Each structure stands twice: as structure tokens, then as C-alpha cells.
Chains A and B, each alone.
Chain A
Amino acid sequence: MSDSTWRNPLYLWDVEGAEEAIPANPHRDPQEVWTKTRQSKTPMLPVGRLRYYYKWPGHGGALWSRLRYWPTRRRVLEIRGEYNPKTLRREKTIVDKRPIWWALGLFAFMLGPLVMPGAYQNTLLAAGATFSIYAAINLCWMLILGTAGIYSLASYAVVGAAAFGVSWLSINLGLPWWLLPFAGAVIGLVFGVIIAIPAIRLDGFYYALLTIGLNELCRVYTLQSKQFGSSTGGLYGADTYIPQDWSSFDQSLLAYYACFVVLLLALALYRIVDGRRLGRILKMAPEKREAFAEATGVDYRRARVWVFVISSVGLGFIGGFYAAHYRGVSFSIFGFDTVLLGLAMLVIGGIGRAEGAVVGTAIVIFLDKVMISTGPLRLVLIGAIMLGVVLFLKGGLFGVKAQFRSWRDKKKSERRSMRSEKGGEMLPEEATETKNKDLLYWRRYDKMQRDFLKTLVTQEIIEEHRKQPLGQHSEPLERLLLYFRRAPQGDKYAITVVEPFKAYRIVAMSGQRGVAPRIVEDKIYASQNEAYHGVFMRRIQDLLES
């Protein structure tokens, strides 16, 4: 009890009404509120954000910027060189690290056969070859689906048509294997022009449905015609590039690397189309924004026909290679499930980027080949992954990073809005609009001060003030009264005399010169001290409510 008692120093001088000791609050340190506010309650949230890049030391940006891809003027690595303004040292930053990952990945794929375990070697080599072919097809498809934003589902139909065509040519006319991809490219060209024509006029989804129909048309047509081997389940017997007198391991190895070369060619095609003028034009005119693109002078129709023709030639080439690789082709390439699996590869990886197509293909081929013993269940699994990716991810696996960033930003803005307490400090948006920047700090300080003063309001304090509104007070009461007295003139309470020594009433100042105070309440106080206490109570109430 000793620490919550206040001894009146004026008692010794016999001041009127002074008591020796009265109960008061235990001491509270104002520093506590300050520390608490600074520590946890107000996280110093950054308004914008900078991305962190590793800073490589030294010069050498010049060397990197001299090295360029041959036909283009593009640098090998996008490197930014600058002087650190603080240390004044030269620094360089790799802005885009994707080429490094690509090089490492492709190099690892090339070295893959060296580390394959002996027992699975044949399976893995075959799976690798299949992966390369499908990845190449998907890259060409991605040019239409991602770069041009046209929902064409007929890419496998183009591959299949080319493969059937060249198989038939090879069987009946004896075309050698090295001509097959080129013959396939010609067939692809014809097919590409045919499917490009509706793409100029049709909206995305009409076109998607139409191409599904075309796919089915191809399947039914080949299934019914005798020339294309409706009885054997496919057309087999085409010339192949794999020498038959080699050992089976050498054959698989050759197939693996041949397919890898096709994959590299497809990557180069993707890079050339997507990264250069045609790709830019196509990305400027996505679905539903064609009118705007046209108004800015982009001939998107021609660009779309071009991308169709180019990718169809590529698909036809791959189709020819496919026939030369598998020595023929089966009807399943036109199947709805093939299209679905292909789409699953693209969707899982992320539409619109080369790494999405390749990695998605790798995942799906892996699931498909490894779990082949489980039968239909593996397709269910692939479908479930596809569904999950579509439902939860905006841009496939490679969009996770961007999606996470935007989610984090959203959460951050939510947290910021949660921080807006009534009478609290200013929010960042508001702060930028305020002319007087001192006000920001004043508000923050005032808030903390009020938080502290709220803790001082107790029954003892009120009782002390009721007994003696004027004169020397205990420390907490003095703090409260000092704060109240310092309030600005507007809406400040005052006492007006209705009848001297008999009736007093509380008013509030207008804060403006020449405008009379307004009456706050009807209550009449009998003495000045009672009125003082009434004002005090009103202020306490305002403080606690703020």
C-alpha cells in the first residue's frame, strides 16, 4: 500500500483542505507505452519493396555485354553493372538467371545416360526420347497457346497428320528416313494453313471447340480408312534412322540423342518466335484486346497466320521425325486423351513459358511411364494434379513465385488496414496527402500519450479530484490535468456562470473568434468546484472513448 499512497507536500504548511496521505495509483512508467508501441504493435511495414539480388563484385559487365547470340543482338546474360552509391565499389547484378538454369538443365539431360542405373537403362533412355519428342511438340504448341493466346487443341492432330502422311509415303513410295521430317513439314504447312483460316475469324472458345472437333475428325477418318491401317491399329513400317544392325543399347542411345537434338531445335524455334518481333506483336494482341492492338497499328491477323504456319511447319517436322523414330504411328495420337495429357503437361508447367512446357512434360511423362503398371489410376492421378494446378495456381508451377508475391502483397495491405485504429496514427496513403508532415509524428505521439493516460484513470484519482479540483494533486492526476489543459481551443470545455456562486454550466468553445461557445448539457452545477469536476469527468470520458 505504501507505493500507492500519495503524500501531500503542502500538508506540512497547513494548506486548507490538504490531507496528509491519500490513496493513489501505483507508479506507471510512460516509457512502457513507448516501448510497447515501438516494439510490436506498429510493425514498420515497407510501403513498396525492393527485390534482393546477389551482387557480384568487380568489373566485367563489359565482357558479358560484348558476348551476344549470333543471329540476334541479344546478350547471353542480362547483367546490370553499376556503382554502389554507398561503398563506391563497382557491382554487377544478374537480372535474369534463367539462361543459367537452362544451360545446367540441358547439360544434365545430355549427361543423363552416363549415370543411369544399368537395370533401368533401356526404359529410361526410351522415356527420355519420348520426353524430348513430346517436349518439342509442346513447345511448338505453346507458341500458339501461350504466345499467340489462341486456344488451339489441334496441335497433336497436325503431328498425327504429318506422321500418318509420311508413313504412308515411306511405305508406298519408299521415301528414305532423312526426307521424312521435311515431307512432314510440308504436310504440316498445308494443315497449318487450313487450321489458321478459321483462327482469324473465330473467338477463342469457338476455336477451341472447333479444333477438338477437327481432332476427332482426324481420328475417325483414319480409323475408318483402310489405307491408314484401320485393321492394324496404326500405320507401321516406315523407314527409320536407327541402324538395325546396332546393339539395342546403341540404338536407344542414338534415339535419345537424336530426340534431344529435336528438342534443342524446338527450343531454338520457340526462342526465335517468342522472343522476337513476331512474339511481341502476338503478345500485344491477346484475346479480347485485338481492337486496341489494331488501333495501335499491329497487324495481328497476319501475325497469327504466321505463327500458325511456323509452328505447324515445326509440328509437321516433328511428326515426320516421330514416324521415323517409332517406324510408324498409331491412332492414339488423335485420341482425346492424348490432347488431354498434352494440355496437362502445359498447364502443370505453366502456360506461356518454355520452361513450363518442358518441365510439365517431364513431370507428366515421368508419372505416365513410371506408374504404367497401375493402369487407369495414373491417368486419374495426372488429372487430379492438373485439376489442383488449375484450381489453385494462376500460372502453373512456374507461376508460383509471382502468385506468392501477389498473395503476400495482398496480405500486407490487409494487415495495414487492420492497423487503422480509431484516433490512431496516419496511414501511408493519407500521410502522402497531408501537407504538414509534423502532424504525422504529432498524431503518433498523441496516440501513445493517450494510451498511457488511459491506464492512469482509476477510482482513486476521480475521488481525489472530486474532493479537491484545484491545488496540488498526486502525480498521475497532475499528468491527466496537464494533458487536458493542453487541448486545442476547438471543442474545449469551459464553465460559464449562470448565477454567481449559485449556478454554473458546462459549455464547449467553438474554437473560432467571434463564435459563441455552445452549451453541452442542461445540468446546472451548484458550485464552482462541482462544475470543475463535471468538466473533468467529461474529459475523462472523452479520453476513454477515443
Chain B
Amino acid sequence: MTAASAAPRPEKREILKVQGLSAGYGPMRVIHDLDLTVYSGERVGLVGLNGHGKSTLFYAIAGLTGWQRGSIRLNGAEVGGTRSQGPGRYTHLVVRRGLALIPQGDEIFHGLTVEEHLDSGAFTPRAWKERKPRKDRVLAIFPPLVKLLKTPVGRLSGGERRMVSIGRGLMADASLFLVDEPSLGLAPKIGKSVMEALMSVELGDSAMVIAEQNVALLEGRVERIIGMHVGKLKGEASVAMGFQTRREI
């Protein structure tokens, strides 16, 4: 990483600091010795092709990969370290420290209603106490969900499910939101509106990382765009740079 691009913003807090992270599944290694820092109040886009480790990076931060090694500091607390088994065994502790992962695809609870689903997003004890105002906030972002509150999620359409899934993530009392491919598998129009909704979330002191294959959806809306290639971060571009430069990343 060049010295210019990593210029720290002194007034910002480091939400996430990943150092020397390697992760993978069994004998396969997906993330290679990766460093990443995310500061409070910023939206970061993570672009890269299929299979280049975007989702694995998110999973590694949440402790869901097969094995991982390297330091991950979330709000200053170490949540990484070396782990060679038990994917997901400590995820709930990471989540309690302020992580909200919005995974790719439909990781939803089929039988719960939309309302219960949103409640489950605010599962951590702190968030649970104030889940009502949070729910109102999420419903303001996704108005179509108001009518569906009592419907089991298993009956919703793909776009509605994605809204529920993202809404569940936004319910959390988190300081870091990791959004994995929000537009995947959706019609372009719906994908765009989902992205709009993500952009309209007020971050405040927290930060958001959005993994996306479609650079055009992110262009001009996020503070930084980071490219990812075979498990490494390849260059970084701030929004000030032209689109053309970013295409070369």
C-alpha cells in the first residue's frame, strides 16, 4: 500500500483494523496476508470478481471461515488470532462487539415472521432494549416491509427477502456493517433501490463496507473503493479519482 493512499484521517476512529489476515477453508487458502483499515463514518466499496475472496474476507472477520490467522481489531478489541477449527463458534462474541454481517444470499429464518426476523437482528442485549425505535428506523428505509410484518419470511419474494436480510443487519447496534453483494440475484432496478437504501442509512460513528461486483452501482457514492484480486487488496481509489482509473484496478 502506498503511503499516499493510506493517509489517516486523524479525527476519525479506527473501527476495523485488519493486519496480516490469512484465511481459507481446509487446504485452500483464499485470503493472503491482507491489511485493511476502516475508519468511522465512512462507506467503503470492495470490488472484485467472483472467487477472489470478498465474501471470505467478511466471513473471516466474523470468524466463519474454516481457518484463519492474523490480527483483526474491531473497535480496538482483538477478535482475530489463530483459529484452525470451529467456524462460527465465536461469531456471536464478535457480533456482540459491534459487527453486523449482512451475508450473501438468503441467510434467513424461514419460519419467523418479518417482525420477529427484525427483532432477531437486534439480538445483542444492548440492541434488544431499544429494538422498537430501531425497527421504526428500518421500516422507514424499507417501506414495503410495513405491510408484511406478520408474514413468514419463507413466503416472500427474493427482493423482499433481501430487504429483510439487510433490515435485520441494520437492526443491530453495530459499529461496522459488512454488506455482501446486496444486488446479487436481483433485478437491476431492485438492486439499485436496495443500494439506494443502503446509501441512505445514516452511519454516524459507525462504518460500512459493501462488497459488490458492479462498480457502477458504487460509483460516486462511497468514500473509497478497494479492489480485491486473488485474496489481496489491489490498490485503492478515492471518489475524487475518475472512473477510468478505477476500471484499471
Contacts and interface: CB of A to CB of B under 8 A. Distances in A.
Interface of A: 406, 409-414, 416-418, 420, 422, 427, 429-430, 433, 491, 508, 518
Nearest to A426: B32
A479 to B, nearest CB: 26
B29 A417 contact: yes
Given A410-B27, A417-B29, 8 more contacts: A409-B27, A410-B84, A414-B84, A417-B22, A420-B33, A427-B32, A427-B33, A430-B32
A409 B29 contact: no
Contacts of B69: 414, 417-418
Contact of B67 (A414, A420, A427, A508): A414
Given A420-B20, A491-B3, A429 B29 contact: yes
A306 to B, nearest CB: 35
Contacts of B24: 413, 417
B237 to A, nearest CB: 16
A230 B4 CA distance: 90
Contacts of A412: 27
A417 B20 CA distance: 10
A353 B195 CA distance: 53
12 contacts: A412-B27, A413-B24, A413-B27, A414-B69, A414-B84, A416-B29, A417-B67, A422-B33, A427-B29, A427-B33, A429-B32, A429-B231
A541 to B, nearest CB: 13
Contacts of B32: 420, 427, 429-430
Contacts of B29: 413, 416-417, 427, 429
Contacts of A427: 29, 32-33
Contacts of B27: 409-410, 412-413
Interface string B49-61: 0000000000000
B157 interface: no
Contacts of A420: 20, 22, 32-33
Interface of B: 2-4, 20, 22, 24, 26-29, 32-33, 67, 69, 84, 230-232
Contacts of A416: 29
A518 B22 CA distance: 33
B20 A422 contact: yes
Contacts, number: 46
Contacts of B28: 413
B22 A491 contact: no
A418 B33 CA distance: 10
A234 to B, nearest CB: 49
Most buried by B among A414, A433, A518: A414
A433 B26 contact: no
Contacts of B4: 518
Contacts of B3: 491, 508
- Enumerate the 7 nearest inter-chain pairs by beta-carbon distance, A residue then B residue, closest first: A417-B22, A420-B33, A413-B27, A409-B27, A417-B69, A433-B230, A414-B84
Contact of A491 (B2, B26, B67, B231): B2
A422 B27 CA distance: 21
A413 B26 contact: yes
Contacts of A429: 29, 32, 230-231
A44 B4 CA distance: 37
Contacts of A422: 20, 33
Contacts of A414: 67, 69, 84
A379 to B, nearest CB: 32
B2 A430 contact: no
A410 B26 contact: yes
Nearest to A411: B84
Contacts of A430: 32, 230, 232
B212 to A, nearest CB: 23
A508 B3 CA distance: 10
Nearest to A518: B4
A518 B2 CA distance: 12
Nearest to A511: B2
Nearest to A424: B33
A518 B5 CA distance: 13
A414 B29 CA distance: 9
A534 B126 CA distance: 52
Nearest to A420: B33
Nearest to B2: A491
A491 B231 CA distance: 25
Contacts of B230: 429-430, 433
Contacts of A406: 26
Nearest to B31: A417
Contacts of A418: 69
Nearest to B84: A414
Contacts of B20: 420, 422
A52 B44 CA distance: 50
A430 B230 CA distance: 8
A500 to B, nearest CB: 28
Most buried by A among B3, B4, B32: B32
A417 B2 CA distance: 24
A417 B67 CA distance: 10
A416 to B, nearest CB: 7
Most buried by B among A420, A433, A508: A420
A297 B33 CA distance: 45
Contacts of B232: 430
A416 B232 CA distance: 17
B101 to A, nearest CB: 23
A366 to B, nearest CB: 34
B221 to A, nearest CB: 28
B248 to A, nearest CB: 14
A49 to B, nearest CB: 10
Contacts of B26: 406, 409-410, 413
B67 A410 contact: yes
A526 B223 CA distance: 40
A404 to B, nearest CB: 15
Nearest to B19: A422
A134 B84 CA distance: 41
A332 B21 CA distance: 59
A291 to B, nearest CB: 18
Nearest to B20: A422
Contacts of A411: 84
